[in-house]
Each structure stands twice: as C-alpha cells, then as structure tokens.
A = this chain, B = another copy of it.
Amino acid sequence: GTYFRVTTFGESHGGGVGCVIDGCPPRRRLSEPDLQAELNRRRTGQEGRTTTNRNETDTCRILSGVTDGVTTGTPILIFVPNTEKSRHDYNEMSMVYRPSHADATYDMKYGVRAVEGGGRASARETVGRVAAGAVAKKILKELSGTEIIGFASQVHDVVIPEGMVDYNCLTQDEVDRSVVRCPVPEYEEKMMAAIDTVHAVGDSIGGVVTCIIKNCPRGLGSPVFDKLEAELAKALMSIPASKGFHIGSGFAGTFLTGSQHNDPFFVDKDGRIRTRTNQSGGIQGGISNGEVIVMRVAFKPIATIGRKQQTVTRDKREVELKALDCHDPCVVPRAVPIVEAMVSLVLVDQLMAQHGQCNLFPINQDLQEPIQFPALV
C-alpha cells in the first residue's frame, strides 16, 4: 500500500514473524484480541485433515503504535514469537531443490538462501499479512460497514456451481462453520472426501477461493495503471501458490457477447444508480461502482508431497526426493483468511487515497456555481 503501508518480516525458524503498519488512521480502538481472532482463523480449519500440524500458537503482541487501547497514528509493530525452537534437521533439504518450491530460484536470484524452514517463502510469512489485514478489516467495517468474505468454491474437481451461493446473503459465520470453509454443506462433504483421498496417497490438491466485498464504497480505484482490479490482482497473486485471478465474469466472460455481458443500469427504489447484472464484478473502468465485488483466486496443489520425485541438488546431481514431514494436502481452507487479509489491505489503502484526493474539499461545498456536468450520484 501507499498510504496504509505494511512491511512483513520474519522467517519460519527465526525469532518470530510479524509486521509493521505505517500510516494507520489514529484514534481507532485496537487490541491484541482483535488480531488474535484472525490469526486463529488462519490456523484452524484443519483438524488434522487439511493442513500441517505445526505446534505454533501464533500469539501476537502489539509492541508499538497503540496506547491505552487506541491507535496513535504512528507505526504499529505486531510481533508473533516462534514457539517451536527445535532446529529441524534440514540437512537433506539443504542441498536438494524441492520441485516447484522457491529453493532453486532463491539461489538463482540471491546466490544464497536461508535453508531452514523455507525462509521468506515459508507460509509462516503470511502471519504478518493476516495480522495487518485484521487491522484493515476492522477499519473498513467501522467506517463503511464494508465486509470481506472469502470461501472455498472449489477443491480439486469439486466445484460449487455458479449461482448456488447468494452473495448478498452470505455471512462469514456460515463459512467458518465449515472445516474446509465451504458454505454449502453438500459440497463441503465432497471437498473433505477429496482431501482425505489425496491425503491417503501422500499427494496434494488445489482449488479456488472466491472472495466478495459487500458494501464497498463507490469510487475506489483509479483510471489507469492503478485500477482497483489491478491492485487486487497484485495483492492476491502475491499469496504463495496462487496461479490465477478473475474479477467478475473472468475467463468465462470471454464466451459472451457484448449484449450479454454489459450490465444495464437502473435506478433502485432508494434512488441509487445500480446495475441489474454484475458481470463487471463491482468494478467498471478501474473504479468500484457500489455493487458486490467478486473475485476468484486459483491455488495450485501444494508442492510438498509424500511421494518420490525426480530432482537435482545444488551441485547438479540428479536425485530422488521424498518429503519426511507431512504438509497440507490442500491449502485452500487456510488460504481463505489470507485472501481476505490481502483484499482488506488493498481496500483500506484505496479508501485513504480516495479520501485524500477526492474528499479533500467537501463535495457539497465546492460546486457552488453551476458547472456543466455535475455529479448526480
């Protein structure tokens, strides 16, 4: 972000992980339990089935930027100590490039890398994102009643049919009730079965997280390089294992004609300009139009699997690799709060940008003389 600026730090096996948030609005109530709730969501939804069994408790501490329970506007430091101190035996790993991991590319880029725990590529880096996202989420809720809700809409070949989830009614509770974060019970069972099956054979599967934004203020985003969908795409494609991003109709929209795809405008009973359909996914010309924003993110099957794989070592010997400890067979359930966090960070940054530029002058006051094309929204 440019205004709400987040830096994450830490590695899986260093002293801890966390983030620094610079530019947070002052005078907002904020406490560790606010963050802990989201951090816990990131850890759960697993029950020995879908995710790794690390014993990290992820207990966060706010070390600066909050006084007497209120944000001061100065940098907020959130720190989550690593509790699992034992040094894993990564000797084997240290020389072998795990297929489709970042081991080889880190060496290509930096000429050196932290071997323990995957360094920055570790999923544990996302703790800082979720903590910062929790702050953003709270601000959005309080300021404009904006809610960001993600859910598993696909796990491997189990796909919730289009239209089965009513975005206007969906709540986060409905999602969190489900172990795999699927709000449709019938499909939840199928997803869990798919995960169990692949887990049994030491393999992994991917899927799709759908994320919606309800009550998104109109006017967020900008017209050219920093379109709202471009910022969202960048944020979501920065999550480990993501392979694709759709806004609104996405790739399916390429099979429609313009007359099918265009969203007709109408005036609703409250006098607001709305669209009858939402192929645009809540964004037109790079700017939010007040409809529900709908995104989908593809996650590949996680790269660490329990089966033998062909690979090479750092010194270019060809070897076979078989992972010792068992990771997530499916990352999708745990990706949900990370997707929500990244979306929240983008939105709060855009909201601040919009407020700074377009609300600097009160909208009613600065158009005293008639101008030719006044806004009537």
Alpha-carbon distance between A243 and B240 when the two chains are bound, in angstroms: 21
Known: A8-B224, A28-B366. A301 touches B67 (CB 8 A): no
Alpha-carbon distance between A376 and B243 when the two chains are bound, in angstroms: 28
Known: A73-B358, A289-B104, A377-B108. A273 touches B97 (CB 8 A): yes
Which residue from B15, B143, B284, B315 sits with its C-beta under 8 Å from A102? Answer: B284
- A243 near B243: Cβ-Cβ < 8 Å: no
**Across the interface, which residues of B come within 8 angstroms of A260, CB to CB?**
301
Q: Report if A233 contacts B (CB, 8 A).
A: yes
Alpha-carbon distance between A309 and B71 when the two chains are bound, in angstroms: 31
- A63 near B156: Cβ-Cβ < 8 Å: no
Which residue from B259, B281, B289, B298 sits with its C-beta under 8 Å from A309? Answer: B259
Q: Report if A22 contacts B (CB, 8 A).
A: yes
Query: Which of A35-43, A49-57, A173-181, A199-207 lies at the binding interface?
Result: A199-207
- Nearest residue in B to A305 (C-beta to C-beta)? B258
How often does this chain occur in the complex, in copies?
Answer: 4
Alpha-carbon distance between A220 and B119 when the two chains are bound, in angstroms: 18
- A355-368 CB mask vs B (1 if < 8 Å, else 0) is 11111110100110
- A105 near B250: Cβ-Cβ < 8 Å: no
- B73 near A357: Cβ-Cβ < 8 Å: yes
- A360 near B367: Cβ-Cβ < 8 Å: no
Pick the 3 closest A-B CB pairs, nearest first. A102-B285, A356-B356, A204-B258
A-B contact pairs, 28 of them (CB 8 A): A27-B363, A27-B367, A28-B361, A73-B109, A73-B110, A75-B120, A75-B224, A104-B284, A105-B284, A105-B287, A110-B219, A111-B374, A120-B224, A121-B286, A204-B257, A204-B258, A227-B238, A234-B237, A237-B245, A249-B300, A251-B251, A262-B305, A266-B310, A267-B318, A276-B310, A315-B376, A352-B356, A356-B357
